[in-house]
A and B are shown apart, each in its own frame.
Chain A
Amino acid sequence: MVTKVMQIILSPVLALIVGVFFLGLARKIIARIHWRYGPPLIQPVIDMIRLFYQKSVSHGSMFDLGLILSLAGSIVVVLFLPFGQICPLSGSGGLLVILYIMLLAPLGMALSGGQGANPNISIGISRKLILSLGYEVPLLLVLLAVMTHYKTISIIEVVSSQQSTGWALISFPLFLSGLSYFLILPAILGLRPFDVSSAPQEISSGPMVEYGGKYLALATIEHAFVLFISIALFVNLFLGGAANPVIFFVKMLVVFVLGLCINAVFPRFRIEQAIKYLWKWPTLLAFVGLIITLAIRS
């Protein structure tokens, strides 16, 4: 019981540290690729503390509650994801529940932005939702292939069967799915070339435009959690999780840096181009992966 409570407290804190570290690292690496020096690694932390005490405006109660719901939703997902051997609540419904709780964060953001009453926000949310439909098709194919292959909907069992049979990423039908997930990862994270919903030059950062002060700080924290969740899900599903949090973190770091290096050099897609890309190669790969998995199973 005590260890459980400790895990429940520990896992969001660890996730926050990792997520914020990734935010700082991303700025540094992108700066180096662009031949700039870049800000120090702890710049996001400094920014957040500063923002927390600055002035901000509120457009109404849903504006506040939506943001709170969004951040709370992300933290809850972390509680359901195994992180090394730390998995406080993973037993309450498995991957399907994780998939659905991951909805709370964008939904909260959309509700909060909606009351912001600024067309830039609405355009940003509309783009974000279209993009999410774009990447959900391959993502769902990937998740279904994994669940069909391991004949379970529990993420803990997916991790533990990989520990006995080897990583899913290097097993036969699932490497297609793993590759597909890796290809859509920047879209899930909203990194370039898929940063259509927050494009600063076109729509003034979209959903973020009315946020200032503590709102911006909380939104940044939320973004850090989303970074953690998407990469941790990949590590759990395809890289066999890990026996302890340190190895888990190393795996996450490798995936993140690889993804960043590939995508930092691309210019931004238009939303149609993004959808066309997402529904072509990643979907095809994931679909073939699922069909082969199904054929092997039956």
Chain B
Amino acid sequence: MSLEILLIIAFGGALLTYLLGKTSEKIRDFLAVVISLSLVAFVACLYGKSPEKTFYSGFFGLGLVLRLNMLSWFFAIAISSLGALCIIFSLSYMKGRERTDFYYSMMLLVNAAMLGIVLAGDLVSFYIFWEVMSWSTFLLISYNRGPALAAGMKYIIMSIIGSLAMLIGMLSLYVTYGTLNISEISAVIASASSGDILFILIIFSIAFGIKNAVMPLHTWLPDSYAEAPSPFTAVLSGMLTRMGIYGFLLVMYVMVGMKNVITHGLLNYHYVLSLVGAITIIIPLLIALIQDDAKKLLAWSSIGQGGYMLLGIAFGTSLGFVGGVYHTIIYAACVVLLFMAVGAVEYRTGGIRDLNQLGGLIKRMPIAFFGALVGICGLIGVPLTGPFVSKWLIYKTLILEGHPLLALIALIGTWISILYIYKFLHNMFLGQLPEKYKDIEKSPFSMRLPMIVLSVAVLFFGILPGIPLKVINAIGTSFGFESLNVTLWGVASETGTLNTINIFSAVLVTGVIVWIIFCLGTKSVPVSQEDSYAAGAYIPKDKYHYTAEFYGPLYRMIKPFLRDVIDEFYYWIAASVQRLCSGVRRMYTGDVGYYVTYIILFLAFLIFVQLKWKPW
């Protein structure tokens, strides 16, 4: 009962927002925030319950089922809370733009569709919600028109290919088992041959791989992330892309079951998938290094971080699984934070996101800087932020299971992230403040609030990771993984314990001691940014910030190897299809004589076939 009400609020709210927006903007904004917050509260109240209900059974005899379990609750709470924060962030970001009614209602619709996906208990309703999500995402990506239309088109074409793959998988399941209810399928699939299981796994991997932007299916992501409005990019990068990870979990561990997926030997599905994850880490992160557009940089970085999640869940030990799922959720918080910081800067500087035109904004926008700082620390995985714990779990599982080369790729990925993400922070917030931004104001309250909430969350779940890890551990045990010994501040085991509270107290105490020593010295004199060392030379205004080609020597070494060949290949296919079609079009000359000739030639062909082989 309650799951239906949840979805009715979510979808109805989207419609109502659009209608009310026609009367008053204030009421619409208020309503959008209230609906998104009430969804958070609603999902939070469902913790620990596991209702299941067939809400409609007339669909060709297939019941449409809603159900809740630990996995879907965990994703639902992340979706609803990140969605609510992004809507609050939109309040000032979207102020004064056109078609805002449409924007808010689509934001709520995307949220509702994602909730529907995680609550769906059968593949038909899963597919319906999945399509609603894809299409409303397309509308939001192309919201800004111009280059955004092309980005949206690229997204929707790849998305449709993914949906078709999913449809084929569903049809083959239906033909074989006569049902599309996920729990019924999982009960009977054990009897299937390994070839059938492999087919199901691969066909669904295409669908979810496109959504999660796994190499080589990633090409839609950089353009879409860069062109969508920033608060929606946050939703897109935070949870929407990660619906792919949810899909992988659903197919691998709920439907097919762990025992059928994890088999031993080198050439098998889950090992190949972890290799794909490793490739997805290293190449996009290197490409992120050479980006100059803040949002494109974060977009490529998101593809790479998706690789960590895939590596974790595909590897298939309890440590890796817990690490992968935790990384999915906590990384979402970090990347949402980073996109919000970019959005706040865009909002105040008039849409500038080119990393070579900003600088020194820490003085004007301290909270946005703080948010970005916590976000980049999380992205790197600095201790005391959440992603540190998830990455630690993934590395540890790779090393102890004897795959140091995969661990090497994951670790080097982290060091590459340090390079590009420091460039991101430095070029925007540190260094010299340009003259034209001397007087910009700090970000408005509705932007600061979500950033503060998320920063606190990333730090809190980094210091006390046990809270989410316990939930994920319960999910893992329900999938048949062995249970981990999770404490409030880490994971205890014989092969190496993690204790974040020790790290936290050590950093805190030494920090305080060093601070006291620092204060004991002679007090320093605050100086302006122009008062810095230039070997006695005059300091030119606006030109004393080192940003362009930040890692020049390294670029020159790696740039020749970093073309996005796959994207070029897809464009080549598109162009070839277009050429072929325009060739076929030439048949239609408009001259009746030609058409008569075609008909006669075709008849002659038929007569020839009949005389020669007598098929009819």
Alpha-carbon separation in the docked complex, A272 to B514 (Å): 36
Quick check: A294 and B503 within 8 Å, CB to CB? no
CB <8 Å contact, B551 and A130: yes
Interface size class of A (residues with CB under 8 A): 35 or more
* Residue in A54, A101, A110, A119 whose beta carbon sits within 8 Å of that of B522 in the complex: A54
B430 & A117 in contact (Cβ 8 Å cutoff): yes
Name the B residues within 8 Å of A288 (CB-CB): none
CA distance A80 to B497 in the complex (A): 13
Question: Is A197 in the interface zone, CB < 8 Å from B?
Answer: no
B125 contacts A by Cβ under 8 Å: no
| B422 contacts the other chain (CB 8 A) | yes
- B5-13, B478-486, B505-513 - interface stretch: B505-513
Q: Which residue of chain A is the closest to B526 with respect to CB atoms? A: A58
Q: Contact at A103–B418, with CB atoms within 8 Å? A: yes
Report if B203 contacts A (CB, 8 A).
no
Separation of A132 and B499 alpha carbons in the complex (Å): 27
Q: How many A-B residue pairs have CB under 8 A?
A: 223
The CA-CA distance from A215 to B517 in the complex, in Å, is: 11
Interface presence of B521 (CB below 8 A): yes
**Residues of A contacting B382 in the complex (Cβ-Cβ under 8 angstroms):** 100, 103-104, 107
Given A60-B362, A147-B404, A152-B496; A117-B432 close (CB under 8 Å): yes
- Chain B residues whose CB sits within 8 angstroms of the CB of A89 once the complex forms: 502, 506
Q: Within the complex, which residue of B360, B380, B426, B525 is in contact with A58, where a contact is CB–CB below 8 Å?
A: B525
| Cβ of B615 under 8 Å from chain A | no
Q: Which of A12, A72, A210, A272 contacts B532 (CB 8 A)?
A: A210
Interface of B is mostly: helix
**Considering only CB atoms, which chain B residue lies closest to A279 in the complex?**
B557
The reply to whether B521 and A129 form a contact with Cβ atoms under 8 Å apart is: no
Q: Mark A65-92, 1 if CB is under 8 A from B, else 0.
A: 0011101110110011000000001011
Q: In the assembled complex, how far is the CB of residue B378 from the closest CB belonging to chain A, in whole angstroms? A: 13
Task: Tell me the bound Cα distance from A62 to B250 in angstroms.
Answer: 45
Interface set, chain B 368-418, CB cutoff 8 A to A: 369, 373, 377, 380-383, 388, 392, 395-396, 399-400, 402, 404-405, 407-408, 411-412, 415-416, 418
- What are 23 of the A-B contact pairs (CB < 8 Å)? A55-B524, A57-B527, A58-B526, A68-B511, A71-B514, A76-B503, A80-B506, A93-B498, A93-B503, A115-B430, A117-B430, A117-B431, A117-B545, A122-B550, A127-B553, A136-B412, A140-B411, A144-B404, A148-B402, A152-B496, A209-B533, A272-B553, A275-B554
Which residues of A are interface residues toward B (Cβ below 8 A)? 12, 52-60, 62, 64, 67-69, 71-73, 75-76, 79-80, 89, 91-94, 96-97, 99-101, 103-104, 107, 110-111, 114-120, 122-123, 125-127, 129-130, 132-133, 136-137, 140-141, 144-145, 147-148, 151-154, 204, 209-210, 213-215, 217-218, 270-272, 275, 290, 294, 297-298
Q: Which 5 A-B pairs have the closest CB atoms?
A: A114-B430, A214-B521, A92-B499, A122-B546, A144-B404
Known pairs A117-B431, A297-B402; list 17 more (Cβ under 8 Å): A54-B522, A56-B522, A80-B506, A92-B490, A92-B500, A97-B383, A100-B388, A114-B426, A114-B429, A122-B547, A129-B551, A144-B407, A210-B532, A214-B518, A214-B521, A270-B553, A272-B556
